[in-house]
């Protein structure tokens, strides 16, 4: 059974960057392979990990709907999908990658989310670590694509609005009685120390700050140069902060 790490939060807070650097840490840890899942229909975790030409589960599902009438008798959608999964799973050194994408046309996530749940139930048995980069906001919780996790990182930028958004996600997780064993805030892009006002806001949620990630110009440069965050040097301050945070959480 995987140790599962789910990452959630308000859009633009740096969830994908955090997810990629966590994957980097697990790869360097050498206890993989880890499974990295981009569960955001508009996500770019693949690019952050230096992957190109990624095919999504959503694209495969759309292809299946076009071909289902041609299936031979007794050949189910599940059989076809299982056979096609090898096309969307990317195997890299130290980690495997799966992108969910979007399914059933513009704006509809119902079927792709149900497929995601079933896929994850099977796949997570085969990996010591699972990292899931979720869509912004609370849809992944309300649709239960994140049903259980050993730890849920609520990512906020260094702002009150980011903390408030994370608090709403935490509250919904409690209301849905999801099997989340631990959750807490990660304050991202911190200019120096976390502002006491933001610390107070976090305390009011009943949760703690699991980690704080400093502002870092190298992350911005890697983005501009379209470089994989797996290539970040070991002495990078974001890498160090994530390593310390994850080691406390495992």
Other beta carbons within 10 Å of 121: 11
Sheet with strand 95-99: strands edge to edge: 90-92, 95-99, 34-38, 129-133, 3-9, 151-157, 183-190, 209-214
The percent of residues above 70 in pLDDT, for the chain, comes to 87
Average pLDDT of the segment spanning 107-120: 61
Q: What is the pLDDT of residues 68-107, one digit of tens each?
A: 777 777 777 777 777 777 778 899 999 999 988 764 444 4
pLDDT band at 245 (very low <50, low <70, confident <90, very high): very high
Q: Are 169 and 183 in contact (CB under 8 A)?
A: no
Q: How confident is the model at residue 109 (pLDDT cuts 50, 70, 90)?
A: low
- pLDDT value, residue 179: 81
Please state whether the predicted TM-score (pTM) of the whole model is above 0.85: yes
Q: Is the pLDDT reported for residue 49 higher than 70? A: yes
Closest CA to 124 of 9, 58, 33: 33
Q: What is the mean pLDDT of residues 30-37?
A: 87
Q: Which domains does the chain have, with CATH numbers?
A: 3-249 (3.40.50.300)
SS3 content of the chain, % helix, strand, coil (to 5): 45, 20, 35
The pLDDT confidence band at residue 113, using thresholds 50, 70 and 90, is: low
Confirm if 207 and 154 have CB atoms less than 8 A apart: yes
As a whole number, mean pLDDT of residues 134-152 equals 64
pLDDT recorded at residue 147: 58
Confidence of residue 144 (pLDDT cuts 50, 70, 90): very low
The predicted pLDDT at position 193 comes to: 94
CB atoms within 10 A of CB 122: 10
CB 14 within 8 A of CB 60: no
Residue pair 12/39 in contact by the 8 Å Cβ criterion: no
Could you give the CA distance from residue 171 to residue 122 in angstroms, rounded to a whole number? 28
Nearest to 173 by CA among 198, 201, 144: 144
Question: Are 23 and 47 a contacting pair, CB within 8 Å?
Answer: no
Give me the percent of the chain exceeding a pLDDT of 90.
Answer: 52
CA angle 196, 197, 202 (to 5 degrees): 95
Supply the mean pLDDT for the chain.
85
pLDDT of residue 115: 64
Exposed / middle / buried, residue 30 (Cβ in 10 Å: 0-12, 13-18, 19+): exposed
Tens of pLDDT, residue by residue over 177-229, are 788 889 999 999 999 999 999 999 999 999 999 999 999 999 999 999 999 99
């Amino acid at each position: 059974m995987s140790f599962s790490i789910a990452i959630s939060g308000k859009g633009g807070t740096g969830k994908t960057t955090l997810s990629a650097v966590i994957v980097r840490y697990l790869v360097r840890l050498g206890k993989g392979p880890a499974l990295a899942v981009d569960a955001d229909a508009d996500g770019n975790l693949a690019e952050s990990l230096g992957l190109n030409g990624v095919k999504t589960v959503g694209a495969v599902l759309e292809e299946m709907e076009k071909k289902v009438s041609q299936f031979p008798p007794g050949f189910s959608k599940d059989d076809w999908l299982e056979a096609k999964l090898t096309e969307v799973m990317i195997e890299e050194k130290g980690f495997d990658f799966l992108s969910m994408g979007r399914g059933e046309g513009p704006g509809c996530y119902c079927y792709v989310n149900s497929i995601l749940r079933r896929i994850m139930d099977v796949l997570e048995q085969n990996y010591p670590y699972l990292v899931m980069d979720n869509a912004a906001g609370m849809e992944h919780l309300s649709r239960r694509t994140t049903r259980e996790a050993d730890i849920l990182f609520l990512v906020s930028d260094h702002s009150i609005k980011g903390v408030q958004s994370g608090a709403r996600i935490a509250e919904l997780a409690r209301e849905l009685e999801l099997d989340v064993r631990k959750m807490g805030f990660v304050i991202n892009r911190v200019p120096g120390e976390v502002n006491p006002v933001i610390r107070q806001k976090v305390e009011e949620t009943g949760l703690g700050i699991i980690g704080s990630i400093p502002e870092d110009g190298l992350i911005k440069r890697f983005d501009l140069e379209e470089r994989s965050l797996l290539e970040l040097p070991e002495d990078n301050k974001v890498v160090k902060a994530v390593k310390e945070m994850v080691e406390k959480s495992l």
